[in-house]
Amino acid sequence: MATLGFNTTRIQTPSLPRIPKSSCFTKPIKTHHLFSSETLLKRCRFVSRSLPESSLSITKEQEVANEVLEDDPTSELSYLDPESDAESIKEWELDFCSRPILDSRGKKIWELVVCDASLSLQVTKYFPNNVINSITLKDAIVTITQDLGVPLPERIRFFRSQMQTIITKACKELAIKAVPSKRCLSLFLWLQERYDTVYTRHPGFQKGSLPLLSLDNPFPMNLPENLFGERWAFVQLPYSAVREEIADFEEKFVFGATLDLDLLGIEVDENTLIPGLSVATSRAKPLAAWMNGLEVCSIEADSSKGCLILSVGISTRYVYATYKKTPVTTDEAEAWESAKKASGGLHFLAIQDDLDSDDCVGFWLLIDLPPPPV
């Protein structure tokens, strides 16, 4: 059984064996998660994880003052890893939403949370609910760059569809590309960590308060024709081979996306088989190119309806493929989902010219994570 924690201590193939016979794409027609917040490190260690001891030359009084500040749930954070290259941080992950915390007026406090995928950049700032607009957000983004000496990012990922108008407008005025995507994994995990160690300790915390802006999970739509493959198969790779694919990712693949497994803290035996989906088509490169612009998030085998569900962006879900429901195909789909559960939600999508090929044109490493509790 795999475990999934938040590893905040950072310094950073074979062919695809098929499980069942391949199936054909057909035209139009929740997983349990192993994430445990108990494995997350405390906020003070989370922030100071990358500071070498040799660089700390502060007095006892300063040390005590810093510890008090870090332990204060009402304090804000503005942090840049001193060992990071600020110019290389070109993509941010951003959340701008209310929290289960009331201010002195009895109104919900809003918070801006910004990080990059490696957590070299970490910023939090509270706002009253009567200043929530694109101008406030734009000014806050500019302030981050000025305070920490980082350039404006080229892209900002966000995962709340309800905030798309405000975030997109603020980014447009700064010539930043706003990217709606659930591939904000560092942000997801950090929000979970902040809920456990910050929000619940805040004097205004409201236990049992539901998120004001919940995540969408709409009914799946028909797949656009340009995304159709010709054949597909459930496949699997040993975890060790998945790590090799990631290590060679930039050299081997033009299309696809990877994950920072060290940051996710996934603990899986090297021989554990990671489930995946292989899609074959004679137009593999065009298909991979189209998929590359979709922010692919996850794949689900829905054995009750005899179909595969592809999740992309924030809230777009497609019926990716269908198959004839039989006891055999149902068992195969359920076994694939069970394998995904056993690997902590880790799975992958491979696009190939042929299902029997050793090579992939595109490779996406995916993971199912529960939404943050705020």
Please state, in angstroms and rounded to a whole number, the distance separating the CA atoms of residues 323 and 302: 10
* CA 142 to the chain's CA centroid: 24
Nearest 5°: the CA angle 179, 295, 94 is 35
Q: Do residues 2 and 267 make contact, with C-beta atoms less than 8 angstroms apart?
A: yes
pLDDT score, position 12: 26
pLDDT score, position 245: 82
374 residues of the chain, pLDDT tens digit each: 454 444 444 322 333 444 433 444 433 322 222 223 333 332 333 453 333 333 333 345 555 445 545 578 999 999 999 999 999 999 999 999 999 999 999 999 999 999 999 999 999 999 999 999 999 999 999 999 999 999 999 999 999 999 999 999 999 999 999 999 999 999 999 999 999 999 999 999 998 877 766 666 778 999 999 999 999 999 999 989 888 888 777 777 779 999 887 777 777 788 889 999 999 999 999 999 999 999 999 999 999 999 999 999 998 999 999 999 999 999 999 999 999 998 889 999 999 999 988 888 999 999 988 888 88
The segment(s) of the chain belonging to CATH 3.30.420.10 are 77-201
Long-range contacts of 174-177 (CB under 8 A, 24+ apart): 174/138, 174/141, 174/142, 176/141, 176/152
Please state which CATH number belongs to domain 77-201: 3.30.420.10
Please state, in angstroms and rounded to a whole number, the distance separating the CA atoms of residues 201 and 199: 5
| C-alpha torsion angle, residues 71, 267, 51, 59 (rounded to 10) | 40
pLDDT score, position 268: 78
